[in-house]
């Protein structure tokens, strides 16, 4: 019998609420992720970008799709408990890596990460999805990611935007809805203090956001995103994020295993 990380309550919670907290499961991996993170900061990919464009307004840097060149990230994706946890939560028989993503918000940066879903930016559709948001140091709830429970059940996707300009991501938004009104005191907002080794695990359709960085240390988070059994390619008609140019797939196809390797299967 292979080890189980989640109990039935957590599996149901993930299905019904679209988000769960994982306490302490990644402690052994944080030093390694930190060293991979620094490598990306010092040598970003072509996708690296700062969402703060004004001078003297701090920095909100992000980069993604680095796991093939950053051995620490590759090791995490292939050997940490993350892919197995994903399989348990989504009851998937096989798990593919979609991408890694890093976020770094400097102290005093007021730029918020707006409420958004990740799926509308992506060239995939499906429900067997999940991202791990793993802060590399303790983060207080006032400074941490918020996730709106049950928002993964919205029947249409929300219009994605470009965070640096707040403009719409796509030119054609016919298939998307406006962001619903979210009351900051909504009881369905998941928001917790996180310690080193904890992670927030959420569906690609779950609405989430984060505040500026009010603490006096950078807020660094490593995120890794997996796809499971029901996920298929979808052509959004325009460049997605990540762009995955020349992917050469048709609507409804499983994602190609040479670009998105299977990292766990039963």
Out of 92, 113, 117, 161, the only residue in the binding site for ligand AKG (CB under 6 A) is 113
Asked whether position 106 contacts ligand AKG by CB under 6 A, the answer is: no
CA-derived radius of gyration, the chain: 17
Q: How many residues sit close enough to ligand AKG to count as binding (CB under 6 A)?
A: 11
Asked whether position 118 contacts Fe ion by CB under 5 A, the answer is: yes
Stretch that binds Fe ion, among 75-83, 110-118, 149-157, 177-185 (CB under 5 A): 110-118
- Contact characters 184-203, ligand AKG, x per CB under 6 A: --------------------
DSSP code string of the chain: -PPP---HHHHHHHHHHSEEEE-STTGGGHHHHHHHHHHHHHS--TT-EES--STTS--EEEEE--TTT-HHHHHHHHHSTHHHHHHHHHT-SEEEEEEEEEEEE-TT--PPEEEE-SGGGSSEE-SSEEEEEEESS-B-GGGS-EEETTGGG-SSEEPPB-TTT--BS-S--TTEEPPPP--TT-TTEE---B-TT-EEEE-TTSEEEE----SSS-EEEEEEEEE-TT-EE---SS--SS--TT----TTPPPPTTTS-EEEE-
Nearer to Fe ion, 6 or 200 (CB): 200
Asked whether position 109 contacts ligand AKG by CB under 6 A, the answer is: no
Q: How far apart are CA 131 and CA 135, in angstroms?
A: 13
Out of 84, 152, 208, 236, the only residue in the binding site for ligand AKG (CB under 6 A) is 208
Out of 100, 106, 118, 125, the only residue in the binding site for ligand AKG (CB under 6 A) is 118
The one of ligand AKG, Fe ion, none whose footprint includes residue 113, by CB under 5 to 8 A per kind, is: ligand AKG
- Contact characters 119-138, ligand AKG, x per CB under 6 A: ------------x-x-----
Binding residues among 134-173 for ligand AKG as defined by CB under 6 A: 145
Stretch that binds Fe ion, among 103-111, 117-125, 190-198, 235-243 (CB under 5 A): 117-125
The one of Fe ion, ligand AKG, none whose footprint includes residue 70, by CB under 5 to 8 A per kind, is: none
Nearest approach, Cβ of 145 to ligand AKG (angstroms)? 6
Asked whether position 221 contacts ligand AKG by CB under 6 A, the answer is: yes
Q: How far apart are CA 112 and CA 229, in angstroms?
A: 33
Residue ranges in contact with ligand AKG by CB under 6 A: 101, 103, 113, 118, 131, 133, 145, 208, 210, 221, 223
Residue ranges in contact with Fe ion by CB under 5 A: 118
């Amino acid at each position: 019998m292979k080890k189980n990380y989640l109990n039935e309550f957590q599996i149901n919670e993930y299905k019904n609420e679209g988000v769960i907290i994982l306490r302490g499961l990644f402690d052994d991996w944080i030093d390694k992720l930190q060293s991979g993170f620094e490598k990306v900061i010092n040598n970003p990919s072509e996708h690296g970008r700062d969402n703060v464009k004004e001078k003297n307004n701090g920095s909100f840097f992000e980069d993604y799709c680095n796991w093939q060149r950053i051995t620490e990230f590759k090791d995490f994706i292939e050997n940490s408990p993350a892919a197995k946890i994903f399989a348990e939560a989504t009851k998937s028989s096989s798990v593919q890596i979609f991408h890694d993503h890093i976020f770094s918000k400097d102290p005093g940066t007021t730029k918020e990460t707006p409420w958004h879903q990740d799926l509308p930016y992506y060239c995939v559709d499906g429900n067997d999805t999940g991202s791990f948001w793993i802060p590399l140091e303790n983060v207080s709830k006032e400074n941490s990611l918020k996730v709106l429970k049950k928002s993964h059940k919205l029947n249409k996707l929300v219009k994605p935007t470009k965070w640096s300009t707040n403009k719409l991501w796509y030119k054609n938004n016919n298939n998307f809805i406006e962001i619903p009104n979210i009351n900051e005191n909504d009881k369905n907002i998941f928001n917790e203090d996180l310690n080193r080794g904890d992670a927030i695990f959420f569906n690609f359709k779950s609405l989430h956001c984060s505040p500026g960085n009010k603490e006096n240390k950078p807020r660094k988070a490593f995120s890794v995103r997996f796809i499971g059994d029901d996920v298929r390619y979808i052509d959004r008609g325009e460049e997605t994020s990540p762009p995955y140019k020349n992917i050469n797939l048709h609507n409804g196809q499983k994602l190609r295993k040479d670009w998105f390797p299977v990292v766990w299967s039963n």
